[in-house]
Amino acid sequence: MTKPVAIILANDFEDIELTSPKEAIEEAGYKTVIIGHEAGEELVGKHGTKAKVGVGIGSAEPSEYSGLLIPGGFSPDHLRGDVDGRYGTFAKSFMKDNKPIFAICHGPQVLIDTDDLNGRTLTAVLNVRKDLSNAGAHVKDESVVVDGNLVTSRTPDDLDDFNHAIVELLNKEYK
């Protein structure tokens, strides 16, 4: 059985950027687990969607997950504010092990903290593209960009393409 897809999340996430990919992943037959600051914590999206943290970041082991989803909104900024840099370290393990990573909107910001974007090609919402470029990434303005194990997308308007690319990569890797 395939290990679940980890979703790193904090308050103020963009609701549909969590719910739509999560649903697509689960409908394709994969499980998901929300990872946040503390297990049991209830997180609230920008538009009121609630999500419960299943595993606290302090006990999350990247080896227990088959992929990583990073929704956008203001959540990535909160994740990057973790004083110990645990979310960047968590994501770096997926980069190092070439496991699927899916990031949309502001989500790719977390990948800056992996120090592994040099030469990678990705996309994101307009106002973080310069930061990604400064981290060494080649940034495109496309609905979805797939670079090996890395799938990125711009905004909720691109969710159909993003979800399709997520499921396609998971199926390629695990079915």
Residue 40: strand pairing partners: none
- The answer to whether 68 and 108 have CB atoms below 8 angstroms apart is no
Residue 85 sits in which domain range? 5-174
pLDDT per residue of the chain (175 residues) written in tens, 0 to 9: 689 999 999 999 999 999 999 999 999 999 999 999 999 999 999 999 999 999 999 999 999 999 999 999 999 999 999 989 999 999 999 999 999 999 999 999 999 999 999 999 999 999 999 999 999 999 999 999 999 999 999 999 999 999 999 999 999 999 8
Query: For residue 68, what is the domain's CATH number?
Result: 3.40.50.880
Q: 105 in helix, strand or coil?
A: coil
Would you state the pLDDT for residue 107?
Answer: 98
Pairing label, strands 150-153, 144-147: antiparallel
Backbone angles phi, psi at 89, to 5 degrees: -65, -40
Short-list 120, 111, 106, 113, CA closest to 153: 106
Active site residues: 105-106
Dist CA 144 CA 41 (whole Å)? 31
Please report the beta strands in the chain, taking only residues with DSSP state E, as ranges in sequence order: 5-8, 32-36, 42-44, 50-52, 55-56, 67-70, 101-104, 121-122, 138-139, 144-147, 150-153
- The answer to whether 73 and 105 have CB atoms below 8 angstroms apart is yes
Note the pTM of the prediction, 2 decimals: 0.98
Return the amino acid letter for 122.
L
Show the tokens assigned to 147.
């670079």
In the chain, the number of structural domains is 1
